[in-house]
Amino acid sequence: MTNPYSDVYKEKKGFPFGALAAIFAVLAVGLIGLSIWLYPQKETVKTEVEAEATAAAEQARIEQIAIDQKAFDAEVARTTKTFVSSADFGSISFEYPETWSSYVDLDGTGKDTTSYSVYFNSGMVLPVDDKGIYSNALVLFIQKTDLAAIDKGFESNMKKGTVQKDSYALSNGQMNLTGVRYSGNISSKNKDKTGSVIYFRIRDKVLGLYSYVPAEQAAIYNIVLGTIRWVE
């Protein structure tokens, strides 16, 4: 006689594990099938959205760079850098706009060992040819001469009234002295060009700061002359 409480009896007549396994199997197959069907669609949608997100991110980055570039350029426009001449020419130093370039043309090492010239201009220094002094923002020229000889060079134009002479007081907290300024047709080569030059005596030489570009006058007077100094 069969024991109705044996394990075998319980399994046969009790919980239907076989049916449960079949139900799980059918559901699992169904879900796997559903997943296989849905996966490519999900990938397609995901790829599209990610591509759109990447493009939007790139566009946002470009727009942000443009905003930040503007802010950075505004900061750069307010900053300055330092120019220092060689010790042989008085160790002249001054600040000038960060956005300017500078070029030392004569540095006392070539054939002309007594002259020193530096050209400054916004962006790029333009060719240092016959027109170079007119087209660049500022030209610094040191030569072995004296103020009397320079004054004689302007004598004729001053008599004609095309050049005006006045004294320029340099008082920037670091230097306190007076120079000579000539304004008007100061060029001996081109009577159509007008500008100004300020001369200072440095030991046995004369420093001249030439400017023919009206737009750069503020930077020259406020930044360059506001910070210039040298070893006397």
Taking the complex as a whole, the smallest distance from the CB of residue 159 to another protein amounts, in Å, to: 34
Nearer to another protein, 11 or 146 (CB): 11
> What distance in Å separates the CA atoms of residue 122 and residue 223, rounded to the nearest whole number?
14
List residues binding another protein (CB under 8 A): 7-8, 11, 17-18, 20-22, 24-25, 27-28, 31-32, 34-35, 38-39, 41-42, 45-46, 48-49, 52-54, 56-61, 63-65, 67-69, 71-72, 75-76, 79, 81, 83, 98-107, 109-110, 118-119, 123-129, 131
- In terms of Cβ atoms closer than 10 Å to its own Cβ (0-12, 13-18, 19+), residue 209 is buried
Q: What minimum distance in Å lies between the beta carbon of 48 and another protein?
A: 8
- Distance in angstroms (rounded) separating the CA atoms of residues 225 and 104: 19
Type and span of the H or E element at 129: none
Q: 143 vs 183, which CB is nearer to another protein? A: 143
Q: Which of 100, 97, 98, 103 is nearest to 128 (CA)?
A: 103
Question: To the nearest whole angstrom, how small is the minimum distance from the Cβ of residue 34 to another protein?
Answer: 5
Residue 152: CB minimum distance to another protein, A: 29
Q: Among residues 138 and 180, whose Cβ is nearest to another protein?
A: 138
Closer Cβ to another protein, 102 or 217, answer by number: 102
**Which of 71, 203, 190, 213 lies closest to 138 in space, CA to CA?**
213
Local structure of 193: helix, strand or coil: coil
Counting every residue, how long is the chain?
232
Nearer to another protein, 98 or 155 (CB): 98
CB 156 to another protein: min, Å: 30
Tokens at residue 106, please?
């004569």
